[in-house]
Amino acid sequence: MENNKRIVIYDTTLRDGAQREGLSLSLDDKLKITHLLDEMGVPFIEGGWPGANPKDEQFFSQLKTETLKQAEIVAFCSTRRPRQKASEDPLFQAILAAETRWVTIFGKSWDLHVTTSLKTTLEENLAMITDSIQYLKSQGRRVIYDAEHWFDGYKANPDYALKTLKSAIEAGAEWLVFCDTNGGILPSEITNIIQKVIKELNLDFEAINTPKLGIHTHNDGGVAVANAIASVLEGVTMVQGTINGYGERCGNANLCTVIPNLQLKLGYHCLEQKQLQDLTRTSRLITEIVNLAPDDHAPFIGRSAFAHKGGIHVSAVQKNPLTYEHIDPEMIGNERRIVISDQSGLSNVVSKAKSFGIDLNKDNPTCRTILEQLKALESEGYQFEAAEASFELLMRSAVGCRQEMFTVKGFQVHCDILKGSNMPYSNALATIKVNVNGQDLLEVSEGNGPVSALDQALRKALVKFYPQIAHFHLTDYKVRILDGKEGTSAKTRVLVESSDGEKRWTTVGVSTNILEASYQAVVEAIEYGLLFEADQKIPCHFS
């Protein structure tokens, strides 16, 4: 479907997204995210609330010295306080000092909030909306008006809710944004209410002075994306949301889902095609910046979004990707993945080998040997669908093209539990012996636990030969007890996720000794990282 109608994307990751529990952005984080969004072609980036905290003031100040390619940075604030002139409200002085061309202000649409939260009259709330917008306009600012709790307000008192919009229109707001602040509205309600508002306000979108409409949805009902799309289908031309759906409580509309649905499924124009191909990369870089694990099962941009595990699925996709893929993953910068597990067949192994650059076919006996080894290891507790880096190393060993960058000849770990006045402190000391290029190295390192100490000692030994190891860092460490009935003697599976700042990879180790399992995963993580960081992959031509 093609209609080429432009939808304006408004990103609020830096403000609304930062309200997610467990997410904290430094000034440097905010600047990095701003440039990523600008490069991807996002027209509006909401930078924060100047005056609300020093960090946001520093952000707007710093941006004055930096150059963006195309994005408009937007300052965010509320309407003025009750019974106070906008021109005298200190709130607006900080907004003006940010020197952004656009300002988004939010006002109350729901009479309940006016009387309960603001503790003022309905008439004063209308005056607050009018005065705030008029003052900002008089200072040369262009205004986006966020109608907070719009849908709840309209359902409770439609006449008053409409009066708040009329006040914003008469004061000169260029955008009216419907906000589902509590995130509890359903798509059918969105459609019905927007249709009524357009009719009751007699909005003529062809007229020059008619404000345009936007939508801002939260995901408390699990339908933020659906609500945003439903709004666009009713004539809304701005969608506000966040990268990866970050936001307070259950999050905001996920722009990584909204954008491809609108552009690839409905034919709207949100980003240039080349910029759309940066969507997956941008999403993953931002997860790195905010230090949160990515959602592997996220639509479109998740690692599992185009992953195929069942043998029948793999065979079909190899013949025609349309059999099990709703779009070409490359359109949004993602990639097809063939998952390896004990449910795999020869098609999975061959396809996976191809993705690793290994030339292998079903008729080769090594292919079946790899499959049998895979199934045997998974029966012991290994899980290669979650640790593809380990499987690639296994496959390279099987076909004889695994590079030996180093050999761990042995290690010891000693732990002390020191009891202080407050709480026990665990200190570990690891000694490791490594051979690199025929040279034996013995290193010692401390850590706040045995795995940390072992990791640090190994890095300390290898960094002299491989300086790029300094860029590697562990991003996740998962332990799973495989046979709990065995108690402390149970077999343990350890998954280690690592990153060099751009690429992530996962390795696995299994043992009844948690240190041994961790050692396996940590060693393979460093080996695999070196394989890619130095771009030293040896092509495997194996007929």
What CATH number should be reported for the domain holding residue 481? 3.30.160.270
What pLDDT sits at residue 66?
92
Reported confidence tier of residue 33, pLDDT bands at 50, 70, 90: very high
State the CB neighbour count (10 A cutoff) for residue 65. 6
Residue 64 reports pLDDT greater than 80: yes
Q: Directed axis angle between helix 365-379 and helix 346-355, to 10°?
A: 100
* Listed residues 240, 271, 302: the one ending a domain: 271
Residue 55 reports pLDDT greater than 50: yes
Residue 386 lies inside a defined structural domain of this protein: no
What pLDDT sits at residue 402?
85
CA distance 411 to 302: 37
CB-based burial, 256-284: b 16+ in 10 Å, e otherwise: bbbbbbbbbeeebebbeeebbbbbbbbbb
Q: To the nearest 10°, report the CA torsion of 327, 332, 336, 339.
A: -110
The encoded tokens of residue 231 equal 């709004």
SS3 content of the chain, % helix, strand, coil (to 5): 45, 20, 35
CA distance 189 to 151: 8
Please name the helix (run of DSSP H) or strand (run of DSSP E) that holds residue 168, with its range, or none.
helix 158-171
Residue 30 reports pLDDT greater than 60: yes
Q: Directed axis angle between helix 90-97 and helix 122-138, to 10°?
A: 30
Average pLDDT over residues 72-77: 98
CA distance 137 to 132: 9
Q: Which of 205 and 97 is assigned the larger pLDDT?
A: 97
What pLDDT sits at residue 197?
96
What pLDDT sits at residue 275?
97
Average pLDDT over residues 45-59: 94
What pLDDT sits at residue 539?
55
The encoded tokens of residue 479 equal 């332990």
pLDDT in tens, 382-405: 888 778 899 999 989 898 888 888
Whether 337 and 368 have beta carbons less than 8 Å apart is answered as no
The encoded tokens of residue 245 equal 């759906």
What are the contacts of 530-533 at 24+ separation with CB within 8 A? 530/405, 530/466, 530/468, 530/469, 531/403, 531/405, 532/500, 532/503, 532/505, 533/468, 533/471, 533/472, 533/500
Average pLDDT over residues 446-451: 85
Number of domains in the chain: 2
CA distance 480 to 483: 9
Average pLDDT over residues 87-110: 96
What pLDDT sits at residue 294?
86
* Listed residues 222, 239, 271: the one ending a domain: 271
Q: Tell the residue number behind the tokens 């062809």, with chain if given.
A: 206
CATH number at residue 56: 3.20.20.70
Which amino acid is located at 455 in the chain?
A: D
Q: What are phi and psi of 206, to 5 degrees?
A: -85, -20
Share of the chain above pLDDT 90, in %: 63
Average pLDDT over residues 507-529: 92
pLDDT in tens, 362-371: 888 888 898 8
What pLDDT sits at residue 420?
59
Task: Give residue 516's domain range.
Answer: 407-541
Residue 303 lies inside a defined structural domain of this protein: no
pLDDT in tens, 419-435: 655 555 567 899 999 99
State the CB neighbour count (10 A cutoff) for residue 172. 18
Residue 207 reports pLDDT greater than 80: no
Q: What are phi and psi of 437, to 5 degrees?
A: 55, 40
What pLDDT sits at residue 359?
83
Q: What angle do CA 447, 448, 450 make, to 5 degrees?
A: 70
Residue 289 lies inside a defined structural domain of this protein: no
CA distance 25 to 115: 34
What pLDDT sits at residue 414?
86
CA distance 284 to 334: 11
Residue 344 lies inside a defined structural domain of this protein: no
Mean pLDDT of the chain: 90
Residue 495 lies inside a defined structural domain of this protein: yes
Residue 382 lies inside a defined structural domain of this protein: no
Residue 362 lies inside a defined structural domain of this protein: no
The encoded tokens of residue 497 equal 């996720």
* 427 CB-near residues (< 8 Å, 6+ apart): 415, 416, 418, 446, 448
pLDDT in tens, 250-279: 999 999 999 999 999 999 999 999 999 999
The encoded tokens of residue 123 equal 């008439």
Residue 97 reports pLDDT greater than 80: yes
Residue 18 lies inside a defined structural domain of this protein: yes
What pLDDT sits at residue 280?
95
What pLDDT sits at residue 163?
98
The encoded tokens of residue 377 equal 């290891």
CA distance 105 to 350: 56
Tell me which of 3-7, 25-29, 226-230 is least confident.
Answer: 3-7
Nearest to 179 by CA among 106, 126, 230, 122: 106
Q: In Å, what is the CA distance from 489 to each residue of 379, 423, 448, 492? A: 18, 27, 24, 9
Q: In 3-state terms, what secondary structure has residue 492?
A: strand
Nearest to 190 by CA among 135, 146, 150, 147: 150
* Listed residues 271, 298, 331: the one ending a domain: 271
CA distance 409 to 57: 54
State the CB neighbour count (10 A cutoff) for residue 132. 31
Q: In 3-state terms, what secondary structure has residue 20?
A: coil
What pLDDT sits at residue 345?
75
Residue 416 reports pLDDT greater than 80: no
CA distance 146 to 530: 49
What pLDDT sits at residue 538?
52
What pLDDT sits at residue 543?
44
